Amino acid sequence: MAVLITGVAGFIGTNLSKTFLKKGTTVYGIDNLCRGEKKNINKFLSSNKFHFLEMDINDYDSLYNQVCLLNKKESIDQVWHLAANSDIPAGVADMEVDYKDTFMTTYYILKLIKKLNIETLVFASSSAVYGNLGEKKISENDGPLFPISNYGAMKLASEALISSSAESFLNKSYIFRFPNVIGVPATHGVILDFIQKLKLDSNNLSVLGNGTQQKTYLHVDELIDAMHFIVANSKDKINYFNIGNIDDGVTVKTIADSVVKLCSPDASISYGSENRGWVGDVPKFNYSIEKLLKLGWKPKLNSEESVIKAINQILIKLS
């Protein structure tokens, strides 16, 4: 079996590749190394099961030609499309960022799948497609879908195109709405942000927002376990699932306290006055994974345990 993974050198792509290679699956990996980093995949390059293409998906002709060659060697059963912008504020400031990196990559991947007759697409969507639905516990069939970031908008646009493709050429698709995922080698996110701030000033941690923002977090190991589980067990034409944790989440204040405790116990913490960090940041997020629980998967670590695990991993990585 062979899979094509886009965004292979990113946070999720790196961890996903590891699980496929462990199972003996051939991995064709694509990354333009804009946000993904070569060092994340260096350890895979010695394997004859791993083939890396450094390229931009939006350069379609080159994408098609190079993937075509690989597909002739061993044909691709699944595309795992993870490539996207991962810097939400950058995408809010400039609409073009998510249009190109989050939407157009999906457009060209679908074009490729159609051309090469690939069976299955697995797509990393996001809870950001739901926008701000307030206090409601959000299930997969809830609406309206009015994202508040261009990132969320272009993930929803990608879902829409996958959905219409399923009607005409795409045999099977998996749409996974990711929660906040933490672990290593994360390139962004609140934990990394706090650790980096404390590295610059070990006496004070300044937090955007008032710290009451509460979110659930899932560790990347569990996310990947859940994705493999769904692909193995759900066989609809379009399989769409929230993936996340089952607790009520932790506040930014709890994360700040945990980071300070593990990094720099004597540091003071200062907070802003608003209940959000930046445009496009949803203050409180309440996410139902009932559908996934019903399929038979559940997370092993709650949000707070996931946060502690991630902090420790990042500290080891940075040390």
319 binds its own copies (CB under 8 A): no
90 binds its own copies (CB under 8 A): no
Nearest Cα to 318, choosing from 222, 131, 192? Answer: 192
55 binds its own copies (CB under 8 A): no
209 binds its own copies (CB under 8 A): no
Query: For residues 97 and 130, is the Cβ–Cβ distance under 8 A?
Result: no
| Residue 84 structure tokens | 């996207």
For its own copies, which is the closer residue by CB, 17 or 126?
126
Q: How far is the CB of 125 from its own copies (least distance, A)?
A: 11
Cα-Cα end-to-end distance for the chain: 37
With CB under 8 A as the contact rule, the residue among 119, 140, 257, 304 that binds its own copies is 140
Amino acid letter, 116:
L
With CB under 8 A as the contact rule, the residue among 103, 174, 176, 194 that binds its own copies is 103
With CB under 8 A as the contact rule, the residue among 238, 246, 262, 295 that binds its own copies is 238
Provide the sign of the torsion angle of the four alpha carbons 240, 246, 249, 254, taken in this order.
negative
- Residue 284 pairs in a beta bridge with 214
79 binds its own copies (CB under 8 A): no
135 binds its own copies (CB under 8 A): no
159 binds its own copies (CB under 8 A): yes
For its own copies, which is the closer residue by CB, 45 or 169?
169
Binding to its own copies, residues 262-291 (CB under 8 A): 279-280
| Residue 252 structure tokens | 């930014």
DSSP string over 179-246 = -EEE-TT--SSHHHHHHHHHHH-TTEEEESS-S--EE-EEEHHHHHHHHHHHHHH--SSEEEEE---S
Q: How far is the CB of 237 from its own copies (least distance, A)?
A: 10
What angle is formed at CA 58 by the lines to CA 54 and CA 60, rounded to 5 degrees?
Answer: 90
Q: How far is the CB of 46 from its own copies (least distance, A)?
A: 38
Which residues of the chain form contacts with its own copies (CB under 8 A)? 92, 95, 99, 103, 107, 110-111, 114, 129, 131, 140-150, 152-154, 156-157, 159-161, 163-168, 238, 240, 279-280
